[in-house]
Amino acid sequence: MRKRSWQILLLLVVIQLAAAPVPKPASAGAANSVSEQTRCPVCGMFVFKYPNWQAQIHYEKLSETRFFDGMKDLMVFYYDPERFGAPPREAIKDIFVKDYYSLSWISAKEAFFVTGSDVYGPMGHEFIPFATREAAESFSTDHHGREILTFDKIPPELVESLRAGQRMR
């Protein structure tokens, strides 16, 4: 009798889970592959070589995606896309970065970025992205981060200061 009750309970749980709405992952719109020939429009580095640091911008009316070797170069582009022959910022639909721990694509506008840590990207100091504030705080503690910022709080002056003296690795 107990076995039958257990089976019924398990069946009810399976039915309930199957009926529950599945949340759309933040990465649903992110491009998953980058050509070996794709270069960062800001620094010229091959983006393919740095899969853990990749970032991307999607345009609303264009079927176009721009790839970057890190969040820092993405922000340089974001603040002045016309400088790189791209449509204006208002035409941008989505921006994605990879969560430092999971390497999953996340929305940059919902991410938390650690600055000033002892972890470097392909071209030196970098904005380290996280899906949650808790993960960013943990990383910041472990890696001597200076500050945690959201996308809308990253000023152009900070972006430029992180680029000072950078060299391709």
Side chain identity at residue 13, one-letter code = V
- What pLDDT is stored for residue 4 in this prediction? 62
Q: Residue 151 has what DSSP assignment?
A: G
Q: What is the DSSP string of 11-56?
A: HHHHHHHHHSPPPPPGGGGS-----TT-B-TTT--BGGG-GGG-EE
Helices (H) and strands (E) in the chain, counts: 4, 7
pLDDT tens for the chain, 169 residues: list them.
566 655 554 444 434 444 433 333 444 577 777 889 999 999 999 999 999 999 999 997 767 899 999 999 999 999 999 999 999 999 999 999 999 999 999 999 999 999 999 999 999 999 999 999 999 999 999 999 999 999 999 999 999 999 886 644 4
Place of tokens 């970065």: 97
- What pLDDT is stored for residue 2 in this prediction? 62
Distance between CA atoms of 127 and 95, rounded to whole angstroms? 14
- What pLDDT is stored for residue 30 in this prediction? 79
Task: Note the pTM of the prediction, 2 decimals.
Answer: 0.79
How far is the CA of 39 from the CAs of 45, 107, 116, in angstroms? 5, 21, 26
Within a 10 A sphere around the Cβ of 99, how many other Cβ atoms?
Answer: 20
Torsion angle, alpha carbons of 147, 152, 156, 161, to 10: 20
